[in-house]
Structure 1
């Protein structure tokens, strides 16, 4: 295998590990951190889901999934009384530490689906005790220090039976969402020009006499008023406002709090790729009608593992079917620009997703998800694969009946150093060998990927032993759950 390919993965994995390694030792969450007591479970007429995490890290705009910390996730469900509390998993004991720029104390995420006498909803909460970024000397440059204490994010989506909607009818959807912190400071020693956003930021966060609530309000006001909702901090990177808001419709409510975004890009630092930390995210959604069940379906362009599974990248415009479906309408999303991953190791071009879901009579439901990719290129391996696609069609026939499924995958051509190595006929699970023990699998269904409620598949999977553990492209997963 070509050494340039190995080097690209090694450098990228070390860069990712540097951030992961600075997270503190895992914590065990307690009941006080989230839902108090497990409520009685009962079936509702609503679809509910929650996704909560403390930290998400992006390198070059692509998510490092292995560094998504304290993730509490509830896929679409009709059941009230579900809850979970999840603490931090990453540890300095298991990962190398090439720098010491990022320090995050243990984070805790929780969610609960609930039903009271007047309200049905789903709530998500994340808390991070302490955050410190910078404060070290890199290449003889002192890095400014940003500290945040007690960051807490909340998102609640609900249906209130006692409320009145916009049409004057009884019952209405609603949201609650907020974020706050117990303290914030920025140590910055260089000269600052008065009247600039950076000067305003320093005045706000270093005012020891102001109550915390006032500091939060002023920080939000400042970040909301500047271009890109971001203030540059020379020598460190930038701090930006996430978003905290809700969307309410006739049949749904979505609430999201994504507190802060911090770009770590120290001047003259060893790592020349901007690393983005998204901090304190909670997102919930409730919807109706779900008389035949809920859809748990996702399509994405790529899932990549490297460095003995240390590095996990993926997502790229991931799409999901709403819990209640789309009313049978086919929705399409196109990612037009090329996605270049790991410093040119992998290039994706021509991403497109399609999905639909429909509630039918007599407890039945059907769905479709499709993932298409025009071109996958691994330059260092001389490998180009074109015309990649997968599609899953499901038909749920009611509770107690196995969901019927049809799985289709395709590939236009497989080129190795410009020469086609694609067999004339390919069936699900067939493999093509290339290079030094490289393996391409057509239509890979992972172990446990197919069950009573549906299945998942990747159109093409690539393994390069010792270099790339696994690349899944044209990935789709779809299930229909009655509860």
Structure 2
């Protein structure tokens, strides 16, 4: 539940003041100003940030990301996005005040530096009515200059109070334990910087509440930059199964899900697989494997997304060897070739008898059970979307089960020819 305080209220003024005094905020404001000029670059860039994320432990509570903001796959410097929330209630846990996210891409052409910055500041976190954390901040920065790619993660926390007492700030590998309330850890940091790119991510702190073992991550920031954008920017995914229906209780997936990196995979085939997928016990789904590849040079960008399912069984229906594949090539002059070559279905069996695979635009119906469509292909302006098998259940739920899903688009790079 989000509670937005009136802008004129004294509380809101206090929260706003607290936000502006969080360590590191000045740099974020400078980044905002530096991001005024939009410039297309040779880099693929991404940034995300959020205030809190809760995982429930023995207490059945979950909370999505608060004050979430992102810059997705882009090659454009000069982007600046923000998300400010005055207050958020974490049901049964407490409240977070003064949440502020800044994500930026910017460039300094004179210095030859292109940067991605994600910063998240939280003015105050109150948990259980007893534990208070103030001025929590994380900042992830990646950049490229004449010396190559670089990364940096900065995290800080202003103070910890509980029961009227002040506690020291945790240090690496030395958490702070507050008996009967919580254990507070310095947040994790990770990343890399090599000749192909840089990635940096950090959580300012992690709080584990007692006795529920509920985990709260506070002030998350992540930034990424990679070279390799020459002709196009990839946008694609593959997943084995997805269930959608009007009834919110009848949903699942996408599972397992693979995303294509913005710049592609440098010609390497990446794979992800699972032994099986549970669709609420209604459909038995065998092993699923996703494969994807994207590469580009100065003339073209090309790639594929693919998802294969060994087989599925639903009542009298059995389908073997389901595969969806989306193939796209973008040429420097803007031409796009796309097709679903490689999309196949091994066999459809109903009550032990093989059935003809319905051609595109037609369907096989099992009265009272389902309607089956095969090779559902949608060409888009920049690519193609493929579903190998689509089942529409006729049980009144309106559920649609998509089996074998692949989608790929290649956007223009924006790099000068």
TM-score by length of 1: 0.63
Q: Give yes or no for contact 1:175–1:255 (8 Å, CA) kept in 2.
A: yes
Aligned partner of 2:142 among 128, 138, 157: 157
Which stretches in structure 1 are left out of the alignment for 5+ residues? 1-21, 136-144, 162-170, 188-205, 225-230, 268-273
Q: 2 CA distance for matches of 1:57 and 1:429?
A: 45
Residues 1:321 and 2:260 aligned together: yes
Q: Give yes or no for contact 2:329–2:336 (8 Å, CA) kept in 1.
A: no
Q: 1 CA distance for matches of 2:257 and 2:340?
A: 22
Aligned partner of 1:111 among 82, 103, 110: 103
Q: Which residue number corresponds to residue 84 of structure 1? A: 81
Mapping of residues 3-82 of structure 1, within 5 Å: 22-24=1-3, 36-37=32-33, 38-55=35-52, 67-82=64-79
**C-alpha spacing 1:100/1:286, structure 2 compared with 1 (3 Å):** same
**C-alpha spacing 1:406/1:89, structure 2 compared with 1 (3 Å):** farther
Two-structure CA RMSD over aligned residues (Å): 4.8
Deviations 1:311-345 (A, max 9, x none): 97645553333333233222223334x45466x56
User: Shift in Å at residue 115 of structure 1?
Assistant: 0.6
Q: Which residue number corresponds to residue 154 of structure 2? A: 178
Q: 1 CA distance for matches of 2:401 and 2:210?
A: 28
Q: SS at the partner of 2:263?
A: coil
Deviations 1:84-126 (A, max 9, x none): 224569999xxxx9x7346555754332221113210222223
Q: Give yes or no for contact 1:23–1:105 (8 Å, CA) kept in 2.
A: no
**C-alpha spacing 1:411/1:287, structure 2 compared with 1 (3 Å):** same
Whose helix fraction is larger, Structure 1's or Structure 2's? 1
Q: Give yes or no for contact 2:241–2:256 (8 Å, CA) kept in 1.
A: no
Residues 1:244 and 2:222 aligned together: no
Deviations 1:350-399 (A, max 9, x none): 2322111111343x110111122335567xx7876553322111110125
TM-score by length of 2: 0.72
Q: SS at the partner of 1:325?
A: coil
Q: SS at the partner of 1:298?
A: strand
Aligned partner of 1:359 among 296, 305, 308: 296
Aligned partner of 1:374 among 306, 310, 320: 310
Q: Which residue number corresponds to residue 454 of structure 1? A: 383
Q: 2 CA distance for matches of 1:233 and 1:388?
A: 54
Which stretches in structure 2 are left out of the alignment for 5+ residues? 8-15
Matched residue count: 389
Deviations 1:219-249 (A, max 9, x none): x42359xxxxxx9998x99877763122011
Q: 2 CA distance for matches of 1:26 and 1:44?
A: 40
Q: Give yes or no for contact 2:205–2:218 (8 Å, CA) kept in 1.
A: yes
Q: 1 CA distance for matches of 2:81 and 2:145?
A: 23
Q: 1 CA distance for matches of 2:194 and 2:411?
A: 24
Q: 2 CA distance for matches of 1:122 and 1:476?
A: 30
**C-alpha spacing 1:86/1:305, structure 2 compared with 1 (3 Å):** farther
Q: SS at the partner of 1:323?
A: coil
Whose strand fraction is larger, Structure 1's or Structure 2's? 2
**C-alpha spacing 1:26/1:315, structure 2 compared with 1 (3 Å):** farther
Residues 1:476 and 2:399 aligned together: no
User: Shift in Å at residue 128 of structure 1?
Assistant: 4.3
Q: SS at the partner of 2:340?
A: strand
Q: 2 CA distance for matches of 1:327 and 1:261?
A: 35
Q: Which residue number corresponds to residue 13 of structure 2? A: none
Q: Which residue number corresponds to residue 222 of structure 1? A: 174
Residues 1:124 and 2:118 aligned together: yes
Residues 1:426 and 2:355 aligned together: no
**C-alpha spacing 1:150/1:412, structure 2 compared with 1 (3 Å):** farther
Q: SS at the partner of 2:174?
A: helix
If asked which structure has higher relative contact order (CA below 8 Å, sep 6+), I would say 1
Q: SS at the partner of 2:173?
A: helix
Q: Give yes or no for contact 2:283–2:313 (8 Å, CA) kept in 1.
A: yes
Q: Give yes or no for contact 1:27–1:88 (8 Å, CA) kept in 2.
A: no
Q: SS at the partner of 1:36?
A: helix
